[in-house]
Amino acid sequence: MRSDLILRVVAKLLIPFILLFALYVQFHGDFGPGGGFQAGVIAAAAVIFYALIFGLADARRMVPEPLVESMMALGVLTYGSVGLAGLLLGGNYLDYFVLAHDTVHGQERGIFWVEVGVAITVSGVMLKIFYMFADRGKVDDE
């Protein structure tokens, strides 16, 4: 599949837009449909698409495995530390009202970081599972 010109060109055209759409879903999730989970899945799907067309080794070079593994934990830690930040600033755990001077701004800020955490974990896990499956197929080939 590596030599298929049409697939390669179309993939190169599409992948930036898929990533952009993932960011749109992430940051516009407050106003339109979407949010961290969907954005994480779409971003992971873009990388999986890249791996399907250009091969797993290239995708691994672009998004290396240690990064993916640390993303899995980093997202949960981001989510948890939003809760801790609320605790440190004098509220309850996961209390967003204290994160800014204005309670509404605090809510917006809390929701934003929570969604970022969800997106990071979800896309890390999806990519890791895909890498694992694809890698097993290659091992069996050799």
Instruction: State the residues that interact with other proteins by CB under 8 A.
Output: 25, 29-38, 41-42, 44-45, 48, 52, 69, 72-73, 75-76, 79-80, 83, 94, 96, 103-105, 107-108, 110-111, 114-115, 117-118, 121-122, 124-126, 128-130, 132-137, 139-140
Supply the minimum distance, in Å, between the C-beta of residue 115 and other proteins.
6
Backbone φ and ψ for 95, nearest 5 degrees, come out as -95, 115
Nearer to other proteins, 8 or 28 (CB): 28
**H runs (alpha helix) in the chain:** 5-27, 36-54, 56-62, 65-88, 103-141
Q: Which of 40, 45, 20 is nearest to 118 (CA)?
A: 40
Nearer to other proteins, 8 or 128 (CB): 128
Supply the minimum distance, in Å, between the C-beta of residue 62 and other proteins.
17
Kindly state the DSSP code that residue 102 receives in the 8-state scheme. Answer: S
Nearer to other proteins, 48 or 63 (CB): 48
How many angstroms separate the most distant Cα atoms in the chain? 60
